[in-house]
Amino acid sequence: MHNFILCKQIKNANIIDIKIKESIFMKMNTRLFEIIAFVALIWFCFNACKNEPESEPEFQVFQNGLYFLLNDEKTGYTVGTSKLLSIVEVPSSVNGLPVIGISDRAFYGCTSLAIVTIPSSVTFIGYKAFEGCTSLASITIPNSVTSIGLLTFSGCTSLAIVTIPDSVTSIGQAAFYGCTSLTSVTIPNSVTFIGEYAFRGCTSLASITIPNSVTSIGYKAFEGCTSLASVTFEGFITYDKFRNNVFGTRSQEGFIGNLRDTYFNSGIGIGTYTREEGGLVWTKQ
């Protein structure tokens, strides 16, 4: 009766015995729970898909006999291969990322490799990348490459013609060491440095032009180039940057002789120097 204690105007009240089955509330609560659970599931799935991170690029990819390794920054791949290929066309991209370089020793000792095409996406060629590729007769280096590294083409005994693009600023140590069939090489006016032993032992090289851009030539860079009969300097190289024995020494039979001495004794140095076939003494023309 406490529920009606403030209702002073009520004189009579008949309480009806009303019974509501408990099962009705249970069914309503169950249905409400199902709706809430369904909505929550939809919300979770939507946000899970929305926030799912992009898949990581594969660390290593094998394709057409070549393998590609992802760089540390995960921005591009470098290429390598087995020793069984004779013709290689390096793609410009793999899995949506650019192929940016030729790995160290990528084609090392590939004696059957005769033709290789390098795309313009490549910016560097690694250490010993083509060393010992004895069947490689020619190669076009794309204009995207900025340097030719250590021993890159060393021992490519069939390599006859090389065109170095004007994007290259340096020719590394022993880059073309022992390329005994090399008859022609064009050094662009972008190159500032020719490394030690760069063309050592290129016994078929008949002439070379050192462009005005070159400021340093490494030790014995052209030593043992026994067929070299004409060297043209388009610019002046200071004494300390024109290393000793760059073109061999007078005491070594078959080597080029004392071109360094002749160069500085001639005064300005710029010009063309020649020697008689088989001779050791150079004369400025």
Query: Residues of the chain with pLDDT > 70: what percent?
Result: 74
Distances in Å between the alpha carbon of 179 and those of 228, 257, 281? 14, 20, 24
Cα–Cα nearest to 222, from 166, 167, 265, 182: 182
**Per-residue pLDDT tens over the stretch 239-271:** 888 877 787 644 444 444 568 778 888 777 889
Looking at per-residue pLDDT, the higher value among 185 and 20 belongs to: 185
The predicted structure's pLDDT at residue 49: 45
| Confidence (pLDDT) at 243 | 76
* pTM reported for the whole predicted model: 0.74
What pLDDT, in 10s, does the model give residues 105-124? 999 999 999 999 999 999 99
Phi/psi at 210 (5° precision): -95, 110
Please count the other Cβ atoms lying within 10 Å of the Cβ belonging to residue 13.
8
More confident: 27 or 86:
86
Q: Can you tell me the mean pLDDT for 187-202?
A: 95
Predicted pLDDT at 45? 53
Q: Strand locations in 176-279, DSSP E?
A: 184-186, 193-194, 207-210, 216-217, 230-233, 271-274
pLDDT of residue 100: 94
Identify the pLDDT of residue 156.
97
Domain boundary assignment for the chain: 21-52
Q: Which two tokens stand for residue 140?
A: 């076009």
* Structure-model confidence comparison of residues 97 and 260, the more confident one: 97
| Contact (Cβ atoms closer than 8 angstroms) between residue 199 and residue 178 | no
Q: H or E segment at 45?
A: helix 22-50
